Chains A and B, each alone.
Chain A
Amino acid sequence: MTNKAGYAFTVLVTVGALSYLLRALPFLLFGGRKEPPQIVRYVGRMLSPAAIAMLVVYCFAGLSVPEIKTPITLLAPYLAGVLTIALQLWKRNPLISILLGTVLYMALVQ
């Protein structure tokens, strides 16, 4: 447990510092109202959707493999994923999409 606490503390400090630095970067670099280089704006614009898509794959790969393998438990992530996306396209309410998607997934794997 102590190891876990030490790890959590390291994450807290390093991620906290990096998050702050990223938010402060434009104020530090461009406080005198200089435009950032074109390439920085380009990568900044492109990076966010790519990073989120990467995390979707990372999360799907991290879902625990069901002990009982039936078509339903194996398809559960995809069915719940489709429901989440469909609800978000239709209702545009993140809370409803996440809640119902998760409830469906939990119902299917249990």
Chain B
Amino acid sequence: MTTRTMLFKLAFVDSIPVLMGYSTMGFAAGMLLAVQGEIAWAPFWGMVTSAAFESGPLQYLFVDWVRTTLAIGSVLLVTLCVNFRYSLYGLSLIERFQCASRWQKAYLIGTITDETYAIQTSSRLTGKRYVTYCFLLTMLDHFYWIVGVTLGAAVGVLAKDLFSPERMQSFTKGIDFSMTALFLVILTDQVRERPGRIPAVIGFAAALLSCLAFGRANMLIPTVLAILTAFLLLRRWLDD
């Protein structure tokens, strides 16, 4: 068995939990896009966005964005807040990816996710072998996500063709809760750890007030400004 085959096997085995998660979550996000996104060619848009964003939250939010055609400024602000943590992940990968070639590095950087990062940083491989392993793992994870979203959107489109709009609307009613549930789950895991609690309370309070004051469509920018202001004012007590 060549080293490459061995590394592929290793990467595949390590990626199985991600396969379960990404294919199903991706499928649900793709389906939501087809059913509620009110956009033609949903599987195409699902495929290109999942390949480019590789992010669960953004994939679900994309449905909301195309339905309401939210202002691009707000869209980018949300992207910035949701994905800012990836800028910190990269810090611990700089050294590890040093043996990667230019294009390998370009791909590895563009596809960092919570799950892929967690597996990559727990591997004990080193040097070239480590980079090859990471590359294969990343490709598998990326592939699961794209296939999940695209298939979900395709099934959603088929279902829309098979059933009348009224029936479709009646039995998919409430499916939009899956996005709320996704964020509730992420939040639950974050506040399980003590350091996540105060920022979560600040975010929650700022969002609630902005939503009441400015309405849902205009709440995001004031919320982020309020959050950042609170962080800076409270830094003396919160930064350790």
> A: which residues have CB within 8 A of B?
1, 3-5, 7-8, 10-12, 14-16, 18-20, 22-27, 30-31, 33, 36, 38-39, 41-64, 76-77, 80-81, 84-85, 88-89, 92, 94-95, 97-98, 101-102, 105-106, 108-110
Contact = CB atoms under 8 A, between A and B. Distances in A.
Interface of B: 20-21, 24-25, 28, 38-41, 45, 48-49, 52-55, 57-58, 61-62, 64-66, 69, 72, 75-76, 78-91, 93-95, 105, 109-112, 170-171, 173-192, 195-204, 206-208, 211, 216, 219-220, 223-224, 227-228, 231, 235, 238-239
A93 to B, nearest CB: 9
Kindly list the 9 A-B residue pairs having the minimum CB-CB distance in the complex, ordered from nearest: A50-B203, A53-B203, A26-B90, A16-B52, A57-B207, A106-B174, A51-B81, A105-B177, A59-B180
Contact of A19 (B58, B93, B177, B196): B58
**Residue from A1, A53, A63, A108 whose CB has the most chain B CB atoms within 10 Å:** A53
A36 B90 CA distance: 12
Contact of A47 (B53, B81, B186): B81
A3 B220 CA distance: 23
- Main DSSP-derived SS at the A contact region: helix
A31 B224 contact: no
B184 A33 contact: no
